A and B are shown apart, each in its own frame.
Chain A
């Protein structure tokens, strides 16, 4: 028999006007579901990154659809593509312009390790100049892999001591 009780949301009449939680949980909950990525599109991986924003894969299911091309409005840099030494300095400067807290996803073989570009001109892994939170394998990775990386990053954000870090700052 189907219950007559259809209300599944928070009911203030029953539970009062107060929700008790930990500051870390609230802050991390907000941050987890409102990541604003900055597409650092440097090569063909950026095409897959565009695909993940489309309806078929739909990154907005995870609250990360607000791609910002200004580092000052973004908090997750997705390095998608081959990083040359000539570009590496600019990449680091763009990272420095992002507001804290900020995270970095190294997307694909080139960003993670230099990939097949074992040459004098290519940075052998973007983690040499910026701290990377999640690496994605693949050349290029499937859009699903980007979503997987995003979920992994969300899990990582949920474990952060955000309140303590805020007070320390």
Chain B
């Protein structure tokens, strides 16, 4: 059964499910209260047995809804994808139900999502940070978090005291280092600063009033 049949049947069974704009696969918006039931229905009735990805979108500060959790499902029987998106109700304390019971693969995905974006997954068996260390005070993929980082102590206080080192904002001389994937000349394709009009010592021309992060 193709994936489009799945979304059609889904919309009949769950009237609150709506279509979602998509450039590739079928996609639906689901209210957060129904998302577990929808995903379970897709898994059991339409053989979406693989959770390919689970992530979230931060639509920036001030946007409402600010956080959207996105599930990518794949059916190994019908070889089709479907994308399910759900908006978190709270913009400050975003939560979503855990789907670890449906797909064990969701465990680490939800931990990463919690670590980097701060979406709390209720009823998750082990919701700890997975990439940053325990006790790190920020969620780095949120829009207000600077790429260079924010100064905090090292995760190991003994090492921090002995070496005097801390987690410092990285020097962003010339902006983030970006690769040019389409470039034929490999020297030009290497990751490099795209804007060299500013550096750590020279502020960015359009942001002279902003505080510079020192490396």
Within residues 104 to 120 of chain A, which ones have a CB less than 8 A from any CB in chain B?
Answer: 114, 116-120
Query: How distant is the Cα of A123 from the Cα of B155 in the complex, in angstroms?
Result: 12
Within residues 114 to 172 of chain B, which ones have a CB less than 8 A from any CB in chain A?
Answer: 131-133, 140, 145-150, 154-156, 159-160, 162-163, 165, 167-172
A118 touches B155 (CB 8 A): no
Query: How distant is the Cα of A44 from the Cα of B177 in the complex, in angstroms?
Result: 19
B133 touches A120 (CB 8 A): no
Query: How distant is the Cα of A121 from the Cα of B136 in the complex, in angstroms?
Result: 11
Query: How distant is the Cα of A118 from the Cα of B175 in the complex, in angstroms?
Result: 9
Within residues 125 to 141 of chain A, which ones have a CB less than 8 A from any CB in chain B?
Answer: 128-130
Which residue of chain B is the closest to A130 with respect to CB atoms? B163
Query: How distant is the Cα of A89 from the Cα of B140 in the complex, in angstroms?
Result: 20
A128 touches B171 (CB 8 A): no
Indicate if A93 sits at the interface (CB-CB under 8 A): yes
Known A-B contacts A119-B149, A120-B150; the reply to A89 vs B170 at CB < 8 A is no
Indicate if A92 sits at the interface (CB-CB under 8 A): yes
B148 touches A119 (CB 8 A): yes
Query: How distant is the Cα of A90 from the Cα of B170 in the complex, in angstroms?
Result: 21
Indicate if A168 sits at the interface (CB-CB under 8 A): no
Query: How distant is the Cα of A90 from the Cα of B133 in the complex, in angstroms?
Result: 12
Indicate if A85 sits at the interface (CB-CB under 8 A): yes
Query: How distant is the Cα of A73 from the Cα of B122 in the complex, in angstroms?
Result: 47
Taking CB atoms, residues of chain A closer than 8 Å to B140 are 120-121
Query: How distant is the Cα of A158 from the Cα of B168 in the complex, in angstroms?
Result: 36
B179 to chain A, nearest CB (A): 9
A119 touches B170 (CB 8 A): yes
Number of A interface residues in the complex (CB < 8 A):
20
Known A-B contacts A92-B163, A128-B165; the reply to A120 vs B148 at CB < 8 A is yes
Query: How distant is the Cα of A88 from the Cα of B154 in the complex, in angstroms?
Result: 8
Contact with A along B183-215 (1 / 0, CB 8 A): 000000001000000000000000000000001
A93 touches B159 (CB 8 A): yes
Known A-B contacts A85-B154, A89-B155, A129-B163; the reply to A120 vs B177 at CB < 8 A is no
B156 touches A89 (CB 8 A): yes
Known A-B contacts A119-B148, A120-B170, A129-B159; the reply to A86 vs B132 at CB < 8 A is yes
B66 to chain A, nearest CB (A): 21
Query: How distant is the Cα of A89 from the Cα of B167 in the complex, in angstroms?
Result: 11
B162 touches A92 (CB 8 A): yes
Taking CB atoms, residues of chain B closer than 8 Å to A93 are 156, 159
Indicate if B2 sits at the interface (CB-CB under 8 A): no
Besides A92-B159, A118-B147, A123-B165, 10 other A-B contacts (C-beta < 8 A): A85-B133, A86-B133, A88-B165, A89-B155, A90-B156, A93-B159, A117-B170, A118-B170, A120-B147, A124-B171
A-B contact pairs, 29 of them (CB 8 A): A85-B154, A85-B167, A86-B131, A86-B133, A88-B154, A88-B159, A89-B160, A90-B156, A92-B156, A92-B159, A93-B156, A116-B177, A116-B191, A117-B170, A118-B147, A118-B148, A118-B170, A118-B173, A118-B177, A119-B147, A119-B148, A119-B149, A120-B140, A120-B146, A120-B167, A121-B132, A124-B171, A128-B165, A130-B163
List the 6 closest A-B pairs by CB distance, nearest first. Answer: A120-B149, A89-B156, A118-B170, A89-B159, A128-B165, A92-B159
